Structure 1
């Protein structure tokens, strides 16, 4: 690609240096940096990383709470062509050790915790460990800087991965999704359009920066040259104080967090009027400015995952439509494909597949998984959806496996979703069992809510009323709990216990 067409995160920062010479970039406790000051620190940090042997493709790991250093490490890694990963520091020592072994970082920047200390003794013996704080500042100061033009150009390829975020362990182990400069910029452009970000936008990063939800808003705010306010973690009174003191426009918040802020501000001591956010409750709405952007008016609805940079579809592009996931971002294509890679017609369930500018570059060190995920030139999300007659999309659930009954494809996730709408059902999983007539038939394993009752016939009839009749379970068994693998049912264990088998391809 010609340099004329390139745009990296470093280029964005270099432009803000010139266009916003007095503009506030970050606020973190006593730290307040303008964009030129942030650029100076990033350039020096990049020099220190390069001098320390961090080369293009190397990984740099952050193990700590939220900090402005997360942003400057990401930007510095981008300048030397390295990949930055903020990982979940709240994991157990064994889980952190797994990340250290899997990622094999050249540098680990860490904050003290018992789990991190223990994991350090188990893995990553060759990494350089730098404690956040004085040691980090000394390391940064040791770097040789260079003029902004050459610093922004060093090692920069906008299609190269720059950010790694570990995904939820749906299959039993997490995978690090790699996102490039261009993917992050593309997603930021879509999000800031949907959120209708304007000059002066201020985002409070009070959610974890290892989560794509916080990171995507952090980068969209950076993209537009807004101000980023960092706090180590969510604490209701401190969040209220920061919203008032820094006149924050947006924060990473959802239901229980909002309820905590309402309680913390019950006496009205904090002025939260600068916050333009989603309507939630009469008490909350009276404290803030209810925002009417497509993002907030749709209650932040849509479908997304880490691998697509955050959001793939926005309900704000399909409000009033039949599908509660809305329509795709303007910078992606979405298709719903069957097991053979053919697009299914409207009304039918298929795997959500996508391609476009905001999609990830694959997983770190997972060649076989990457090949499967990119089959046919589409990213296979592993999730099921349905395109409604009006063109909007509905998210159904994880794909995981498919049941073949006669010539019909039945996805357990769709049936499970229907089962869980029954008021007596606390949890459910669906497996396929051999059937002499149909090849396979669906069987539901159901956990009832405490004190609730339901018969097999009632469960089956409920599902018949929710989805096509051929998808309803032909058998239902009740159990005390559903075995899990990661966050999803352990279907192998369920098959072994309840007679599952005869899946397509077996």
Structure 2
């Protein structure tokens, strides 16, 4: 099909038009675009031999790596779906993801959480992965052939169909369990195009993947860098000293950094050991600004402001498109539409609060294997974000807050329902509710309010959650009460906030 553009096609074009450009840096691994393209061709062939066809799932359980990009691009070449899972999760959480996604192939790094799950179809990262990839053919299929480097197939969805789901990112634990949001090549290319314009990404752009690639915030910049034909540098996880070294060594243009991470990098380079001037970034502090180059792109001038979520590909609105705007979320990407809707589906007038709803080129394809949720979230032909907003008199958007209770700790979204579900599995817990309390360092911390039917200490309650969920989701505080106040069948969160010091929620 001549009107298609998958991520695999983007790679194949760069292999021709940027033959000497470094596409990937990861430790000792350095790959030009032609070298990356050849590895993806081999990997796609090896995955196909394992039964990975259009619509099948491939899962990554590990930290940041160039392997993530290779698996994504090979999945694009086959019409498959790739998911980088949150490696910080517990064994129980990862087990849910594996059972939910039913991947044909899992590539994994050893960890306490992943090791108990390994089995058939699992390929260990490192030497085993390299041997698996090397076993695939380096001979590309003819262009236009399903799975070829410029795939075009008459069958849809499948290889060459840029509307087919490609990337799955788990998010939004509305009911206590997460859901995999599916993004197509078309959506990812559209979002990358908008982002690279607002960020003013140019030839030679180099991005340091220092945030987790299971988060859309890092992934969206990784893919925009791919889109522009830049260089993606990978580090397994954030380490301030290593970030300084890589920025200096690779002349990094942008990295995934925010608040506390910026402060940590500033402290690590207080002696000026590393040259960070290639980093074109937001103004943050006198020390930071003196080490880096303060960037004048709309994205950086606006302090990387806007509103987004995984389901919209990353950013739905950009403050950089609305300098001096009344609404701190800015204006929508030029490739989407945004409406503020009332419960009856009608648009609310400017100045009134409604649900932020959207449609357009960068929107997701729905959640994997969630037909009822998908029907509810796309009613009326709009994606219902579950967040409240307001249209200001100048047409810009203000984000008011989530319709469902959500806790924001650092850069992580924590849904009370997910933590409450685990709390209630403790044999001594009769009932429980979770609120967010202000935290000086992380903005909010998790507080569990627990009604007991037996004996348990706060430490035992915290450990029970820590053993079953990612560490950042465990309660920092535990309050014991006789009973949980209710509104109908659900906790009365307003009463709990008032009684137990809740506050600091997103939008407040």
Q: For the superposition of Structure 1 and Structure 2, which TM-score range results when normalised by the shorter chain? A: 0.7 to 0.9
Report what 2:344 is aligned to. 340
Structure 1 unpaired stretches of 5+: 401-411, 418-427, 429-444, 451-479
* Mapped pair 1:128 → 2:133: no
CA distance in 1, matches of 2:150, 2:13: 13
Q: TM-score, normalised by structure 1?
A: 0.79
Q: Quote how far apart the aligned CAs of 1:145 are.
A: 3.1
Runs of 4+ in 1 over 6 A off after TM superposition: 445-450, 483-489
Report what 1:156 is aligned to. 160
The 5 Å alignment of 1:284-363 reads 284-363=288-367
CA contact (8 A) 2:187 2:362 kept: yes
* Mapped pair 1:222 → 2:215: no
Report what 2:424 is aligned to. none
Q: Aligned pair in 2 of structure 1 residues 338, 449: CA closer, same or farther (>3 Å)?
A: closer
Structure having the higher Rg: 1
Secondary structure of the corresponding residue to residue 149 of structure 2: helix
CA distance in 1, matches of 2:435, 2:165: 43
Q: Quote how far apart the aligned CAs of 1:322 are.
A: 1.1
CA distance in 2, matches of 1:153, 1:446: 50
Report what 2:494 is aligned to. none
CA distance in 2, matches of 1:170, 1:259: 33
Q: TM-score, normalised by structure 2?
A: 0.79
Secondary structure of the corresponding residue to residue 185 of structure 1: helix
Cα deviation digits, residues 71-116 of structure 1 (max 9, x gap) = 0110000111110000011111101101010011000000001110
CA distance in 2, matches of 1:499, 1:184: 42
* Mapped pair 1:12 → 2:38: no
CA contact (8 A) 2:171 2:179 kept: yes
Secondary structure of the corresponding residue to residue 113 of structure 2: helix
CA distance in 2, matches of 1:447, 1:321: 30
Secondary structure of the corresponding residue to residue 487 of structure 2: coil
Q: Aligned pair in 2 of structure 1 residues 18, 345: CA closer, same or farther (>3 Å)?
A: same
Q: Quote how far apart the aligned CAs of 1:446 are.
A: 9.5
Secondary structure of the corresponding residue to residue 356 of structure 2: strand
Q: Aligned pair in 2 of structure 1 residues 385, 488: CA closer, same or farther (>3 Å)?
A: farther
Secondary structure of the corresponding residue to residue 232 of structure 2: strand
CA distance in 2, matches of 1:269, 1:180: 43
Cα deviation digits, residues 176-233 of structure 1 (max 9, x gap) = 0000000000000000000000000000001111110000000000000001111111
Q: Quote how far apart the aligned CAs of 1:335 are.
A: 0.3
CA distance in 2, matches of 1:481, 1:227: 44
* Mapped pair 1:272 → 2:276: yes
CA distance in 1, matches of 2:235, 2:296: 27
Q: Which shifted more, 344-353 or 143-152?
A: 143-152
Report what 2:385 is aligned to. 381
Report what 1:23 is aligned to. 21
CA contact (8 A) 2:450 2:484 kept: no
Cα deviation digits, residues 36-73 of structure 1 (max 9, x gap) = 00000001100001111111100000001111110011
* Mapped pair 1:233 → 2:230: no
Report what 2:131 is aligned to. 138
CA distance in 2, matches of 1:312, 1:389: 19
Q: Aligned pair in 2 of structure 1 residues 447, 59: CA closer, same or farther (>3 Å)?
A: closer
Q: Quote how far apart the aligned CAs of 1:394 are.
A: 0.4
Structure 2 unpaired stretches of 5+: 152-158, 409-415, 417-433, 440-446, 452-464, 476-480, 491-508
Q: Aligned pair in 2 of structure 1 residues 481, 134: CA closer, same or farther (>3 Å)?
A: closer
Say which of 195, 200, 213 aligns to 1:196.
200
CA contact (8 A) 1:170 1:488 kept: no
CA distance in 2, matches of 1:32, 1:199: 18
CA distance in 2, matches of 1:89, 1:373: 28
CA contact (8 A) 1:177 1:361 kept: yes
Q: Aligned pair in 2 of structure 1 residues 502, 258: CA closer, same or farther (>3 Å)?
A: closer
Q: Which shifted more, 136-145 or 338-347?
A: 136-145
Q: Quote how far apart the aligned CAs of 1:169 are.
A: 2.2
CA contact (8 A) 2:244 2:269 kept: yes
Q: Aligned pair in 2 of structure 1 residues 500, 11: CA closer, same or farther (>3 Å)?
A: same
Cα deviation digits, residues 13-42 of structure 1 (max 9, x gap) = 111011101111001111111100000000
CA contact (8 A) 2:4 2:160 kept: no
CA contact (8 A) 1:94 1:119 kept: no
CA distance in 1, matches of 2:169, 2:131: 27
Say which of 359, 367, 372 aligns to 2:371.
367
Q: Which shifted more, 165-174 or 80-89?
A: 165-174
CA distance in 2, matches of 1:158, 1:449: 43
Say which of 49, 52, 59 aligns to 2:50.
52
CA distance in 2, matches of 1:375, 1:187: 23
* Mapped pair 1:99 → 2:92: no
Secondary structure of the corresponding residue to residue 16 of structure 1: helix
CA contact (8 A) 2:5 2:160 kept: no
Q: Aligned pair in 2 of structure 1 residues 102, 449: CA closer, same or farther (>3 Å)?
A: closer
CA contact (8 A) 2:12 2:150 kept: no
* Mapped pair 1:175 → 2:179: yes
CA distance in 1, matches of 2:361, 2:474: 29
